[in-house]
């Protein structure tokens, strides 16, 4: 059971380049989310999805796009990378379950470390 798989693990981009960070889970989880982790700021929610075809914005969505065409995959797109997007990105998933999604534990990937020059 692979859990939550993020690719790539490391990436260096130049300002203005585009890129897609991949996230896949094999647990049939409905809820998936993307966070960025910056020193001294903890994790901040970028976008989330509660099922295929359903996405919504989190705390820091600007500069990022997402889509959810399948239950398994939740890619994060940077359309025009900026140095301020240098960060470690985490994807997480959980079952939606009954009632609030918070009743179910989130499973995190190992992260993608992204540097933008």
Which residues lie near other proteins (CB under 8 A)? Answer: 4, 31, 33, 35, 40-45, 48, 50, 56, 58-59, 90, 92, 100-103, 105-106, 108-111
Locus of tokens 């301020």: 84
Are 63 and 78 in contact, with CB atoms under 8 Å apart? Answer: yes
Sign of CA dihedral 90, 96, 102, 106: negative
> Is residue 81 within 8 Å of residue 14, measured between CB atoms?
yes
Q: Which is nearer to other proteins, 17 or 72 (CB)?
A: 72
CB of 67 to other proteins, least distance (A): 17
49 versus 85: smaller Cβ distance to other proteins: 49
Q: Is 52 exposed, middle or buried (0-12, 13-18, 19+ CB in 10 A)?
A: middle
C-beta of 41 vs 79, nearer to other proteins: 41
Min dist. Cβ of residue 53 to other proteins (A): 15
């Amino acid at each position: 059971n692979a859990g939550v798989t993020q690719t790539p693990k490391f990436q260096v981009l130049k300002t203005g380049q585009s890129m897609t960070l991949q996230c896949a889970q094999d647990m049939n989880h409905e809820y998936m989310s993307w966070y960025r982790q910056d020193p001294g700021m903890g994790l901040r929610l970028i976008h989330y999805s509660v099922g295929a075809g359903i996405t919504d914005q989190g705390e820091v969505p600007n500069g990022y796009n997402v889509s959810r065409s399948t239950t398994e995959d939740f890619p994060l797109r940077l359309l025009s990378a900026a140095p301020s997007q240098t960060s470690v990105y985490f994807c997480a998933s959980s079952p939606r379950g009954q009632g609030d999604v918070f009743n179910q534990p989130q499973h995190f990937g190992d992260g993608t470390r992204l540097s933008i020059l």
